[in-house]
Amino acid sequence: MKQQENVDWTDYVIGLSDVPPLTSHWEKDMVSEIKDKISGHQVKTVLEVGCSNGRWLRWFQQEYGCEVFGLDNNTAGFGKRDVNFITGDAFKLPCRDDSFDAVFSKGFMEHFKKHERFLLLKEQARVLRENGFLICEIPPFDISLEILYIKFRHDVRQELKHFIITEKELKRRFEELNLGIVSSKFLGWFFERFNIPKLFSNRFTSSESLLIGIKR
């Protein structure tokens, strides 16, 4: 993968838990929305692009009883054998057309420039079967508190790079790739960082955004 080749993600990957803790509001919101929109009989194979150590694939495996595949260019998290790990380039997925019932990415697309994001989504749609689901989770970067937090903490202090990506852009790209919108939802609560109880969630105060499309 071409993004941020000068950044070594190894320490980050090694520090991840084997399974998602599902303690944050956004995690609970995301799994609830996925389960609500995608039934178990619809998903037998799942590919995660930018899978780190495969922890979210383990959630899919436990929830749907499906076969899971994870692609990354950093193999630091490939220790366990319960996931079919693939070392590869997200711009040229080493998979045949129409291979998976669902393709998933989390916290991934915002590390790429706009023209690159379209190529990534096009590749993901290519390996998706008809009536398969493309699931994309990103920070709500159009107008939100989250963008300020990420830009300061990660881009400035840790010298990472997050490009502006919006729900509107993703929806347009999905439509261009003949993906019908199944769900578009803001997740979580930015003020959870400060132990303030969640009262509501919207574009400004959410910590994540989820888009689910279906291949026609």
CATH of the domain at 77: 3.40.50.150
* Measured distance CA(192)–CA(85) in Å, rounded: 33
Does residue 1 fall inside a structural domain? no
Does residue 5 fall inside a structural domain? no
**Single-letter amino acid, residue 169:** E
Q: Give, to the nearest 10 degrees, the angle between helix 55-64 and helix 25-37.
A: 40
Nearest CA among 201, 77, 55 for reference residue 140: 201
Instruction: Give me the chain's average pLDDT, please.
Output: 93
119-140 average pLDDT score? 97
For residue 61, how many other CB atoms are within 10 A of its CB?
Answer: 17
Residue 31, phi then psi, degrees to nearest 5: -65, -35
Count of structural domains within the chain:
1
Residue 150 DSSP SS3: helix
Does residue 4 fall inside a structural domain? no
Domain housing 91: 10-215
Q: What is the pLDDT of residues 80-109, one digit of tens each?
A: 999 999 999 999 999 999 999 999 999 999
Does residue 113 fall inside a structural domain? yes
pLDDT of 1 = 41
Confidence of residue 6 (pLDDT cuts 50, 70, 90): low
49-72 average pLDDT score? 98
Tokens of 62: 């436990």
Say yes or no to pLDDT of 160 above 90. Answer: no
